[in-house]
Amino acid sequence: MLPCSIVSTSIALPGISGIESFIDLLRHTPLEFSTDTVDLPASDLLPIRLKRRMSRLIQMTVSTTFQARQSCAGSADAPLVYGSANGEINTIGSVLNEIFQEPPLVSPSAFHNSVHNSAPGYWSILTRLHHASTTISAGETTFGCALLQAAAMLSDRDPFVQLTVGDEKIQVPQWADPGHTNIDFCGSMVLSRHTSGDALAHIIDLRHMHGPEATEYQKEAHPIRIASGYRHPCAAFYVLLEFLHAPSSSGRIKLVEGDPESGCIGMTIERS
Amino acid sequence: MNPLHFLDFSAVSALGPDRDTLFQNLIDRRPGLSYASSIVPSTSSPLGEIPFALPAPPPPLDRFHSRCHRIAYACLRPLDASIRAVVEAFGADRVGVVCGTSASGNRSVEESWQNDGRFDFDYHHLHTFGCVSRLLKRLSSLQGPAFSVSTACSSGSNAIMSAARLIHSGTCDAVVTGAVDSLCLTTYHGFQSLQIVDPDYCKPFDADRKGLNLGEGAAFFILSSKPLADYPGIARLLGMGASSDGYHMTAPDPEGLGAKLAMQRALEDAGLVPGDIDAINLHGTGTPLNDMAEARAVYQVFGDETPCSSTKGYTGHLLGAAAAIEIAACILSLLHGTVFANHGMSRQDPGIRIRLLTEHLRQSVRRVVKNSFAFGGNNTSLVIGI
């Protein structure tokens, strides 16, 4: 695996849309959110007609993907790796409610919005881009596996790859373990195979591991959580964004997702 | 790209529990579609439902008991020996799992709802998209990375492309890959709502086609960086191409621009030209818009000479597993020198100018292109060869 660089980022969190407001948030310790869901305003990118049809996850994905790409010249055709543990679980929940009504009447738009890759689909429709795109899900290692995939694309041939990872708070289906994801969060970054220049940071180690190697790696790793009381499958990405943008952070951070028995993704990132 | 090696594969669908019955039913032109269904008893269209019993994963993995997982387990079992061989050759930590799925455990939620409506339901073992890959990893005692790919009807091809990248990047030496999906009420009623289901047997590329028939199943492959002594390889992955339509969530770009890009990128990746391709296994769902757009794209890239067919008239549309079962059919074409007929078509749409096969074509088949397209305008093409 080639070392690679993080050249731009963006984030959506409750009350936060974009890096500038995120940096403001990081000045508050401990982090506090007045709500656990994201409500983005309608915009040129999210026209009100389409916004009404989109889940919060789709809105967050489109917005963060746009912002990160806008900050990186040359990445317009970059492939998109999209990671989400639960995908459109709230929409699936509403479709399941509909099919058990009598007669079962499913909304066509709810049905096509229920597929896991709805968000990257909308992104390409809104931007009319023809890039390659894939969607990955791996529970608590969703971010790490998506990053492995993005890095593999870079080492293959692509100069830039965009990685967007997110999940929305589970609300509709009670069977889907709502406590597992109780806050909206989505983040995006553009990765470059070039490690020089004005990169935000460099990924100097990225690997899958298990057993004693993973246990050792974990000992030095940074704790993974967004804020007290909140659980999110992609929290490691939040911690990475915090490391990249908190005024006080410097040097390296080591992150591990997963557990040593079933397998971990470990990564070390160094700020430029 | 550096070619990768398919060392072994298995397939489970309405056509049968293994790859031999898949081949025999394709050759005999015996589709697996029927109006008899235990999942949708009142179905108004034929379904490719697996008609035989599906085994549950053994303890302690019996918590993964969704229909999707049982299909996956049935499909994985024939690969025990070849998985052992790659583990012995490379080490368990060098073998990963990448599995495509679209509906995942929806059927389990439905069963829970229908049984008692209480939802004492194990979401993490039955529904999350990542759990099927976790199951396959644990069933095979593998220690490499495991994740699922979910891009609707192109999930299987995207899973294989992800697996190939893990090998090319040096993360893995071999990957168990492919895709699985089960029938469920959600997809049945969902596609009915989109009004793209044929109430009769589907007829891809026919002038009178009305839509698709749903199916279920799985196909898994052992993709490896190199052949092994006992598994010298049955086919090779030569090229991969992907694109987005950027057009509509369900309707394809009418001119097939995204599909054309995916095919061109796959050929370029393989270092081949259209004339090098012996046959194309089409996405060919049987919907009026999809078939027309795909035919236009194929015509622009390949002209009207390359033999083409869709195998969805035999299996139905396996959604997340469609590409996987159709790649299995492609490998069977390579192994047996047969391009399968486009079943169901009696009169080719006069607006479609590609060469669609109404009978099996027996000839040397060295390289095939496999197209798969999906909701969200997600397009993939793979080049597979001997």
User: Which residues, including other chains, have CB under 8 Å from residue B68's CB and lie 6 or more apart?
Assistant: B101, B103, B104, B105, B107, B108, B132, B180, B181, B182
∠ Cα B76 B131 B382 (to 5°): 60
**Comparing A173 with A23, which gets the higher pLDDT?**
A23
Q: How confident is the model at residue B117 (pLDDT cuts 50, 70, 90)?
A: low
∠ Cα A149 A153 A156 (to 5°): 135
Q: Concatenated DSSP letters for B283-298?
A: ---S-HHHHHHHHHHH
Average pLDDT, chain B: 96
> Where among B224, B251, B270 does a domain terminate?
B224
Chain A residue numbers with beta carbons less than 8 Å from the beta carbon of B91 are none
Residue B46 and residue B25 share a domain: yes
Q: How far apart are CA A119 and CA B210, in angstroms?
A: 29
Chain B residue numbers with beta carbons less than 8 Å from the beta carbon of A152 are 162, 165-166, 168-169, 171
Give the pLDDT of residue A254: 97
Q: Taking the domains of chain A in order of start, what are their residue ranges?
A: 4-271
**Residues of chain A numbered 158-177 and touching chain B (CB < 8 Å):** 173-177
Structure tokens at A29: 């310790």
Q: What is the CATH number of the domain that holds B247?
A: 3.40.47.10
Instruction: Judge whether B230 lies within some domain.
Output: no
Q: Provide the terminal-to-terminal Cα distance of chain B, rounded to the nearest Å.
A: 15
Residue B299 and residue B196 share a domain: no
Find the DSSP H helices in chain B. 19-27, 67-76, 80-90, 106-115, 123-126, 131-139, 155-168, 185-194, 257-270, 288-302, 312-315, 322-336
Q: Are B245 and B293 in contact (CB under 8 A)?
A: no
Q: Are B271 and B239 in contact (CB under 8 A)?
A: yes
Q: How confident is the model at residue A175 (pLDDT cuts 50, 70, 90)?
A: confident
| Strand, helix or coil for residue B78 | helix
pLDDT in tens, A246-268: 888 889 999 999 999 899 999 99
Q: How far apart are CA B45 and CA B287, in angstroms?
A: 14
Query: With an 8 Å Cβ cutoff, are B147 and A79 in contact?
Result: no
Q: How far apart are CA A20 and CA B308, in angstroms?
A: 53
pLDDT in tens, A156-171: 778 999 999 999 999 9
pLDDT in tens, B68-102: 999 999 999 999 999 999 999 999 999 999 999 99
Residue B330: give the domain boundaries: 237-385
CATH topology of domain A4-271: Peroxisomal Thiolase; Chain A, domain 1 (3.40.47)
How long is chain A? 272
Q: How far is B376 from chain A (nearest CA, A)?
A: 4
Residue B256 and residue B216 share a domain: no
Mean pLDDT within B155-166: 98
pLDDT higher than threshold 60 for residue B119: no
pLDDT in tens, A7-19: 999 999 999 888 9
Instruction: Judge whether B196 lies within some domain.
Output: yes
Give the pLDDT of residue A195: 75
pLDDT higher than threshold 90 for residue A71: no
| B14 DSSP assignment | T
Strand positions, DSSP E, chain A: 4-13, 16-17, 80-83, 133-137, 160-167, 185-192, 201-209, 252-259, 263-271
Query: With an 8 Å Cβ cutoff, are B151 and A117 in contact?
Result: yes
Structure tokens at B48: 């490719």
Q: Which range, of A114-118, A249-253, B138-142, averages the lowest pLDDT?
A: A249-253
Residue B250 and residue B149 share a domain: no
**Cα dist from A225 to A136, A239, A242, A246, whole Å:** 21, 7, 11, 15
Structure tokens at A131: 């890039």
pLDDT in tens, B170-208: 999 999 999 999 999 999 999 999 999 999 999 999 999
- The residue among B2, B115, B129 with the most chain A CBs within 10 A of its CB, best to mutate, is B129
Average pLDDT, chain A: 92
Residue B90 and residue B205 share a domain: yes
Chain B residue numbers with beta carbons less than 8 Å from the beta carbon of A128 are 246-247
Q: Which range, of A65-79, B32-46, B242-256, averages the lowest pLDDT?
A: A65-79
Residue B154 and residue B28 share a domain: yes
Query: With an 8 Å Cβ cutoff, are A262 and B374 in contact?
Result: no
Residue B108 φ/ψ, nearest 5 degrees:
-65, -40
> Where among B192, B224, B256 does a domain terminate?
B224
Residue B268 and residue B130 share a domain: no
Residue B61 and residue B159 share a domain: yes
Strands A252-259 and A263-271: antiparallel
Residue B262 and residue B220 share a domain: no
Query: With an 8 Å Cβ cutoff, are B244 and A175 in contact?
Result: no
Q: Are A99 and B185 in contact (CB under 8 A)?
A: yes
Nearest to A149 among B162, B257, B375 (CB): B162
For chain B, the domain total comes to: 2
| Strand, helix or coil for residue A3 | coil
Question: ipTM of this predicted complex?
Answer: 0.96
**Percentage of chain B surpassing pLDDT 70?**
99
**Cα dist from B384 to B114, B230, B355, whole Å:** 43, 21, 20
Residue B375 and residue B255 share a domain: yes
Give the pLDDT of residue B118: 60
**Percentage of chain B surpassing pLDDT 90?**
94
Residue B62 and residue B202 share a domain: yes
| Strand, helix or coil for residue A42 | coil
Residue B242 and residue B220 share a domain: no
Residues of B involved in catalysis: 153, 283, 317
